[in-house]
Amino acid sequence: MKFSVLTLFPELIETYTTTSIIGRGVASGAITVEAINPRNFTTNKHKKVDDTPYGGGAGMVLACQPVIDAYRSLLPLNPKAKVILTSPTGQQFTHSLAKQWAETTDQLVILCGHYEGFDERIVELIPELEAVSVGDFVVTGGELPALLMIDAVSRLVAGCVQSQESVENDSFYNGLLDFPHYTKPAVFEGLEVPPVLLSGNHAEIEKWRKAQALARTKAMRPDLLDR
């Protein structure tokens, strides 16, 4: 799986994707990550990538030319590529979407918004663009949403996470929240680990975990059960 990120702050992408599990995925060749800076494609002497909005108002708008030229530098894309725009106007990013991308896409191109957003003509000039939102809130730029998507998708790419069982036990993988986890010591400040986890009876442990996942989902995210 290849991730191509158009960003004004490539160091944010590069720093995160060279550490921890994602960094190991890159090192192993399971995934590759490249950061493309639209500022390197500007045709003005000041290397400006934004300008004031027509019609007035606060903030700056990302201009067409550097973003479009940066995107076109990636062409031709992999036939199974998907092009994503980080935007609050898009469909909600979910585990199901991450799983779909991991299974059907070979390249994920992510355009990171900034300031007041993109000139709308960018969307018109890239008809394959799909807007995706990571939640009903606003952050400074699209790098954090992009990294969330990269991380979530990478975990589902074979060879990125060492233990497939760990991935399959994650929240949302089977439509439920994860069950509670415990480790040593068995008693801490008077709080004990549930006895079933110390019993060695794997059938009962599995039954307990499924029941806990169901109960936790019902209490905290009943909407998941409705789906």
Q: To 10 degrees, what angle do helices 95-104 and 143-154 make? A: 70
- 112 within 8 A of 62, measured Cβ to Cβ: no
Cβ 30 vs Cβ 160: under 8 Å = yes
Residue 88 annotated as catalytic: yes
Name, in order, each residue with C-beta under 8 angstroms of 135's C-beta and a sequence gap of 6 or more. 92
CA gap 95, 29 in Å, rounded: 23
**Cα–Cα distance, 167 to 173 (Å, whole number):** 8
The one catalytic residue in 151, 170, 178, 221 is 170
Beta carbons within 10 angstroms of residue 41's beta carbon: 19
The yes-or-no answer on residue 223 being catalytic is: no
User: How far, in whole angstroms, is CA 117 from its chain's centroid?
Assistant: 19
User: Which of 21, 58, 9 shows the shortest CA–CA distance to 155?
Assistant: 21
Does the active-site annotation cover 170? yes
Distance CA(223)–CA(227), nearest Å, equals 7
Catalytic one of 53, 88, 216, 221: 88
Which among 116, 180, 216, 221 is annotated as catalytic? 116
3-state secondary structure at position 46: coil
Count the Cβ atoms, other than its own, within 10 Å of residue 69: 14
Q: Which residues are known catalytic residues? A: 88, 116, 155, 170
